[in-house]
Amino acid sequence: MKTINNVVCSFCGCLCDDIEVNIENNKIVNVKNTCSLGLSKFLNYDKHRILKPRIRKSKEFVNVSLEEAIDECVKILSNASYPIIYGWSNTSNEALRIGMEIAELIGGVIDNTTSVCHGPTIIGVQDIGESTSTLGQVKNRADLIIYWGSNPLHAHPRHLSRYTALSKGRFVKTRKERKIVVVDVRKTATASIADIFIQIKPNSDYELLSALRYAVNNGEIEQNEVAGVPVEKIEELAEMMISCKFGALMFGLGLTMSPGKHRNIEAAIALVTDLNKYTKFVILPMRGHYNVTGANNVTCWTTGYPFAVDFSKGYPYYNPGETTIADIIARGECDAALIVASDPISHLPIESARKLSKIPIVTIDPHETPTTKISKVVIPSSYVGIEYEGTAYRMDGVPLRLKKIVDPPDGIISDEEILKMILSKLRGD
Amino acid sequence: MIKVILITGRSLDQGTSKSIGKFSKEYMEKLAICELDPEDLKSLGIESGQNVKIKTKYGEVIVKAIESKQAPHKGIAFMPYSMWANLLLGSSTNSSGMPTFKGIEADIEIVKEGKIMDLNELLEEKIGVI
């Protein structure tokens, strides 16, 4: 049995880098240090795999060679007038870099799943900037942690033990030295271990953030409650925020997906900016898929924009609400799609999923999903971080190298290699 | 029938069962559900585990009502992100780029007929392929 240490887990944006994996006969037999999400991925990655490229001919799928699948993909992309290229948060930066070249070459729109997770966060940050840090700084220094619209015990199970409540920092060493606050519409699993839980009415985050800003700036709130929260509780929280040594506001999709969207994020960032008049305070988004932060970074390096980049004019053009995938599909404008490491049929509102199903889709993915089931062409790929190496960005923007720990099934290559083949064929090399 | 605010979101079961496979029994069992506050279950006159129909102005779906372990949240229904939940969402982003996945008005009622569709059935019935 072979043991590989310091493996990076490719499930969520925490990218835990202390995983121990035991391998026997090219099979993962045991995994240590993961949460249940990582454990499930490492122990099940070899199930429900797609092992042959396939093309839909009339109603039935027919297995084809990789070259034939690539040719069909190139034909679909070349014939399209407004193709979309979407996904990327579950693959490597290296694969996305090739995807950017394809998008530019064919004049398509390239978007990543940020579009339906922290898109509003990016817009908020672009509008008014942010006070941020690494998770290491939070672990070592933060004595006040606020989770707002985020339930890490379900979405990022080791976030609390590695970086916040239960971590041993250099300067803040124990749980007793940290205060944990949870703001949510439900008393989540994370709320159950907080010092203070603030239950907020749905769709009223903006109001509560504004009230907190008012309290932080010494205003006297002339109401009994705001967003279902008694004013005394708001004032207590404002005082806790002002008097901490290093505070961190960690927010999730409770803020980005609720009405208000990027305005909610702007209000949260503005609150943190206000707090920096009194103390050190940072704000960090809780990013979901393991490399969604990387998708933003690579898109930024290459075009100057973080997601939803439209090349149809011959140069990069970015306007969320117009060039974002949800809007393009809802307007029925795209006429072909290349989907990489994503399952939009499962994750878009039904009307959009229906519209997407009417155009030819090429999907590159290791396993079967509702999107692969309705695609015109399906090209199976290997798992980055298990069967192929690559770089991914942790949720705080720290890039980490993912290892190859076992060989992929026979004939299965990586997203990066498949995309290189598509690009080469599109160029006519 | 009760009126609720629907919140869709991530759950631990969603993450672990996704890795087992989206067409697995586990995925459907853990995701074709709606978590309700115990008081809301009482108002509906049902036990945890019974099927309900959830309707919004965008669509409807039959899922299993489960007593929430993350209560109290009277008047709020939680569904994990999935095709079952997405049948209830609108596609407009109001020019923000982001559809509204949380905070949607919905009605919940007991179902006497009809069953929970699996993903293949949803693809056929609701998307019109396969």
On whether the CB atoms of residues A422 and A102 are closer than 8 A, the answer is yes
Mutation choice for A interface testing from B4, B16, B19, B40 by most A CBs within 10 A:
B19
Residue A229 has pLDDT above 90, yes or no: yes
Residue B114 has pLDDT above 90, yes or no: no
Contact call for B83 and A345, based on CB within 8 A: yes
What does the pLDDT look like over A282-306, one tens digit per residue?
999 999 999 999 999 999 999 999 9
- Reference A88, options A103, A106, A75; nearest CA is A103
Looking at residues A83-105, what average pLDDT do you find? 98
How does the average pLDDT of chain A come out, rounded?
A: 97
How does the average pLDDT of chain B come out, rounded?
A: 96
Q: Which residues of B touch A186 (CB under 8 A)?
A: 7, 68, 70-73, 76, 78
- Any CB–CB contact under 8 A between A94 and chain B? no
Looking at residues B73-93, what average pLDDT do you find? 97
Instruction: Tell me the one-letter amino acid at A342.
Output: S
Contact call for B68 and A123, based on CB within 8 A: no
Q: Give the closest-approach CA distance of A188 to chain B in angstroms.
A: 5
Residue A313 has pLDDT above 70, yes or no: yes
Instruction: Tell me the one-letter amino acid at A240.
Output: M
Which of A120, A151, A254 lies closest to B98 in CB terms? A120
Which of A191, A258, A373 lies closest to B103 in CB terms? A258
Q: Can you say how many angstroms the Cα of residue A271 is from the centroid of all Cα atoms in its chain?
A: 24
Contact call for A353 and B99, based on CB within 8 A: no
- Reference A101, options A316, A379, A262; nearest CA is A316
Minimum Cα–Cα distance from A367: chain B residue:
B21
- Any CB–CB contact under 8 A between A84 and chain B? no
- Tell me whether residue A126 is exposed, middle or buried, using C-beta atoms within 10 angstroms of its C-beta: 0 to 12, 13 to 18, 19 or more: middle
What pLDDT does B130 receive?
58
- Any CB–CB contact under 8 A between B99 and chain A? yes
Confidence of residue B113 (pLDDT cuts 50, 70, 90): confident
Would you call the peptide bond into B72 cis, given omega within 30 degrees of 0 as the criterion? yes
In angstroms, the CA B123 to CA B130 distance is 7
In angstroms, the CA A296 to CA A318 distance is 13
Which of B73, B89, B93 lies closest to A350 in CB terms? B89
- Reference A286, options A140, A198, A183, A202; nearest CA is A183
Confidence of residue A182 (pLDDT cuts 50, 70, 90): very high
- Any CB–CB contact under 8 A between B25 and chain A? no
ipTM for this prediction: 0.96
Residue A367 has pLDDT above 70, yes or no: yes
In angstroms, the CA A328 to CA A350 distance is 15
In angstroms, the CA A309 to CA A110 distance is 5
Alpha helices in A204-349 (DSSP H): 205-216, 231-243, 253-256, 262-275, 292-303, 325-330, 344-347
What does the pLDDT look like over A24-62, one tens digit per residue?
999 999 999 999 999 999 999 999 999 999 999 988 999
Phi/psi at A22 (5° precision): -100, 130
Query: Token digits for A182?
Result: 């949870």
- Any CB–CB contact under 8 A between B81 and chain A? yes
Query: Token digits for A389?
Result: 């190496």
In angstroms, the CA A102 to CA A271 distance is 40
What pLDDT does A338 receive?
98
What pLDDT does B69 receive?
96
Instruction: Tell me the one-letter amino acid at A276.
Output: N
- Any CB–CB contact under 8 A between A353 and chain B? yes
